[in-house]
Structure 1
């Protein structure tokens, strides 16, 4: 992608100035331009010299002898950092803006091409030469400049030019003038890049909606601003959209390390993204062994519970037919759940493509800082549950969002337009979605639980809760908040569950334990009863849950004391 022919002298002067502004490490950038066809044998590994890291600090005070291995740079060379710990910490602390190591990011460069991550079976697939073009929408807010530009150039340099109609950048109210100037310079001087600015932040989902509505092709792909794609990522997506026009797709998303920017090599057929049917919180669930055996190493599309929001692909007209993102939802969160579930229910499929590989930096979403005291995620969850869930599951999910009446819950707002979309698209009952997912995984879906809700001790008035201590999940008591981590379920099979964890007594002992994300909770060590006298008794040992010391829950002989009595569910 070269500069536009219309560049004049003033623009060129701005470009030259911007190079010094954007890349304080100009010599490194020159040394690290991508050489696509070049391999770097180990004997050619060399140490680097860093110049002009900061105008306010002398170079020799920052970089001494470079000997700390970091990882591969843009062209395959190994990067080293100062052996002097004080200098290293200085660089690291100065470089952690936006939760990524910008110093190391500069060393990596903007136009590197990641290694081909595809399974060998994918490399043998021949795709049609007449695949349609696609619009790429990249939303960002207060993003790291190198990470964002590497996202853009990763798409442009790795994808066939004929398949990319445009790259639409949506700046959702960034205030960083350095970021805004850098992005504008690249958008002005590189073909196919279009920049949209929201002067006032609209929130992630509305920013994405604006970008999608501006696209000029029949298909779109939405990306976060801290992603890098790998060779061969695009063709499987477009081919599948042609095969399944009502598909919602995502790539197999691997992890880019936010310190070293190395990409992981995770398996694509172990687990997939879903959400808890009680709390509506995201979780990863494992495929059953039977389902993995059925696939037998296939690289064909895999059905998914929900797509992760950082990469979604869809036919534009079908997206709009389903109402796009819910305009009544606010800022960030749940929009990918809503889009995925209604796609399944309204005649589409949701899939991950093992032959399409991209890397993503996992960092806190910049939209999370909006209105920290506003319960917008709960509002979004309530809108989703009201419109797309049905029956008992809907009632249970709404009850959790209502915080068991312990605190005020937000008004979900007008839902008529969303209900109309469901009616007009002749969408299936919610149980259809649950059945689709249950066919692939062992995951608890409540049918007729015996007791649900917050559990309060009669003696201390504290509530059952759970915490992570020493890497283990531990049952505790805590001040009653009514949050989902205090919402306990005594299942129809007499198991106790809280969020993704199951309570058991270690066989041969009286030691309590919470196991998380397990696939089998059928053993006798998991069996409990909630007695008429308000005690919670372990079936095998016959002992009772006891608040022994403040915030310490143990299993003791049942003596009918107030420390062993629990109000469950707590409703006031």
Structure 2
């Protein structure tokens, strides 16, 4: 009996051991299966990361300092082809440029570091275009608010490097130009009032990054009574770390002319370069300007002013030739492709004489600037100071040029970001220009701005000191300026036989010339009659000409019936 019980217990123990073995084998198999599954998932994730077709937007592997946001379906990029150099990009391909914040800086930089957003220009219609990057509603609201506050997309500007390099825009022949190593030194003067940090500092760094140290005496930053915290607190400590940059603060509002005149008195360079506070310079921008001034100390020069779009910060090239001019309302503008006898297309790097120059970037000998009267202290805050200086320089023994091998980009503004206390300030500045420099021709200005005429009659501005300066310098009269410097400015015969809208009885419309096409050779069209005076045409009984009132174009002509 005991032997039988012992045998039964041994059988049960063997069965338990078999069950335990099975359980351990099952657990071991489950563990192996889990490990295999985990490895497969990791491999799949790696393949996902390596496969560009699985993401709508990817970062292209490349040099550590090069980061490009591109369309994921660009076949050339999927095949790993190298990135085209920045200078080869077309104008409509470059939106903005700034250094990448990623990657090691230990590797040699065989290429410029930049980050760009490209639009595809595909020749194959079957190839899909780039993905559109859609900003969220919050980002759009931020951008709209910054445009309203500053006159440009400051929210986008903050994302762009302070050291971005613009694509090359100079004519190839400019690279063969050689400049003296003994050029005069320059003080770059940047006046600002409530300028946002990004555009102000990008201007400063652009000057420092593109200017040879042997020619740059200093950069003078002049704060024209700004109140923003970043300009009152942060700016001082930041500038103290920049070699060759000085900060000057004004305790009262001076305006453009007053601010620049004050800085000129403190400058140490032989040549003064006045620059707006939202510019970006091309490589080699300063040397051509210094050379022209060194050859003739009474010569005032300007670079070609390219344009930075206020919304996208895209760089737009200004086509050469171009010169600065003004009309009888004393409004300044850049005239493209002027029909001039002294322009030679076969010599595209020769400077071009200009009746006027804009104030965005201007180079002038320091001693000549002081001797010719600096900026008129009677000009208030902003407006028409560039026209006043232009007429004075030409009339009093100097000259003005645009230098094509020098290029600087200027940020166009959607609107002026601040309101002037005097709404007629610009008109009062123009009154000073007319009364001091235009002699009997000032009547033409007053006929085009009747409100200016009434202001002049009621206020009679004090211009005695500037008239004494004009006599002491032996300046020529305005008739000489028109006949010698600016003969292309049409002198209207203000004896109209008829004036009014040119009405088409067949269509019930009026002759019109779009304000966005203010250049010679444009086409007039017909449009609904506005009745606002913008379509008024004046005809002359003396020389049988007709001129649209608001147009900068001299005359209209019939080319087909």
After TM superposition, the score normalised by the length of structure 2 is: 0.69
Secondary structure of 1:291's counterpart equals coil
Displacement of 1:291 in angstroms is: 3.0
Residue-by-residue CA offset, 1:271-293 (whole Å, 9 max, x unaligned) = 4221113x222244455546376
Check 1:345–1:494 CA distance in 2 against 1; reply closer, same or farther (3 A cut). same
CA distance in 1, matches of 2:477, 2:368: 19
Counterpart for residue 372 of structure 2: 322
Secondary structure of 1:280's counterpart equals coil
**Pair 1:312 & 2:362 matched:** yes
Counterpart for residue 449 of structure 1: 494
**Pair 1:431 & 2:479 matched:** yes
Residue-by-residue CA offset, 1:57-89 (whole Å, 9 max, x unaligned) = xxxxxxxxxxx9954334322249953542442
2:94 and 2:315 in contact (8 A); partners too: no
Residues 144-163 of structure 1 mapped to structure 2, 5 A cutoff: 144-163=196-215
Check 1:251–1:404 CA distance in 2 against 1; reply closer, same or farther (3 A cut). closer
CA distance in 2, matches of 1:117, 1:39: 24
CA distance in 1, matches of 2:528, 2:447: 23
Secondary structure of 1:354's counterpart equals strand
Counterpart for residue 98 of structure 2: 73
CA distance in 2, matches of 1:170, 1:228: 18
Displacement of 1:335 in angstroms is: 0.6
Between 1:114-123 and 1:358-367, the stretch displaced more is 358-367
Counterpart for residue 15 of structure 2: none
Displacement of 1:383 in angstroms is: 0.9
Secondary structure of 2:315's counterpart equals coil
Partner residue of 1:384 out of 416, 423, 433: 433
Secondary structure of 1:72's counterpart equals coil
Counterpart for residue 497 of structure 1: 547
Counterpart for residue 273 of structure 1: 324
Residue-by-residue CA offset, 1:85-115 (whole Å, 9 max, x unaligned) = 4244244235434122233222221112223
Counterpart for residue 217 of structure 2: 165
Residue-by-residue CA offset, 1:476-523 (whole Å, 9 max, x unaligned) = 56579xxxx69864334333334442xxxxxxxxxxxxxxx4465344
Answer with 1 or 2: which has the greater Rg: 2
Displacement of 1:455 in angstroms is: 6.9
Displacement of 1:216 in angstroms is: 1.4
Residue-by-residue CA offset, 1:118-162 (whole Å, 9 max, x unaligned) = 111111011011111110100111112100000001001110011
Unaligned 5+ segments in structure 2 are 1-62, 72-92, 100-112, 119-131, 502-509, 518-524
Counterpart for residue 56 of structure 2: none
Counterpart for residue 306 of structure 2: 254
Check 1:176–1:428 CA distance in 2 against 1; reply closer, same or farther (3 A cut). same
Partner residue of 2:259 out of 207, 219, 224: 207
Displacement of 1:181 in angstroms is: 2.5
RMSD value, Cα: 3.6
CA distance in 2, matches of 1:195, 1:132: 22
CA distance in 1, matches of 2:462, 2:275: 29
Displacement of 1:405 in angstroms is: 6.2
1:466 and 1:486 in contact (8 A); partners too: yes
CA distance in 2, matches of 1:184, 1:453: 62
CA distance in 1, matches of 2:64, 2:267: 36
How many residues were matched structurally? 436
1:379 and 1:410 in contact (8 A); partners too: no
Check 1:469–1:438 CA distance in 2 against 1; reply closer, same or farther (3 A cut). closer
Secondary structure of 1:428's counterpart equals coil
Counterpart for residue 469 of structure 2: 421
Displacement of 1:365 in angstroms is: 7.0
CA distance in 2, matches of 1:430, 1:72: 46
1:72 and 1:78 in contact (8 A); partners too: yes
Counterpart for residue 353 of structure 2: 303
**Pair 1:45 & 2:68 matched:** yes
Check 1:474–1:331 CA distance in 2 against 1; reply closer, same or farther (3 A cut). farther
Displacement of 1:182 in angstroms is: 3.0
Counterpart for residue 138 of structure 1: 190
Partner residue of 1:113 out of 165, 175, 183: 165
1:73 and 1:79 in contact (8 A); partners too: no
CA distance in 2, matches of 1:453, 1:425: 43
Check 1:453–1:128 CA distance in 2 against 1; reply closer, same or farther (3 A cut). farther
Secondary structure of 1:426's counterpart equals coil
Counterpart for residue 35 of structure 2: none
Residue-by-residue CA offset, 1:232-276 (whole Å, 9 max, x unaligned) = 00000111110010011111000012233232122120x422111
**Pair 1:334 & 2:394 matched:** no
Partner residue of 2:419 out of 322, 345, 369: 369
Check 1:323–1:376 CA distance in 2 against 1; reply closer, same or farther (3 A cut). same
Q: Give the structure with the higher percent strand.
A: 1
Unaligned 5+ segments in structure 1 are 1-36, 49-67, 457-463, 502-516, 526-539, 541-572
Check 1:390–1:76 CA distance in 2 against 1; reply closer, same or farther (3 A cut). same
Counterpart for residue 140 of structure 2: 89
Counterpart for residue 354 of structure 1: 404
CA distance in 2, matches of 1:221, 1:95: 29
Displacement of 1:422 in angstroms is: 1.2
Check 1:473–1:438 CA distance in 2 against 1; reply closer, same or farther (3 A cut). farther
Secondary structure of 2:376's counterpart equals coil
Check 1:272–1:412 CA distance in 2 against 1; reply closer, same or farther (3 A cut). farther
Between 1:471-480 and 1:341-350, the stretch displaced more is 471-480
Secondary structure of 1:337's counterpart equals helix
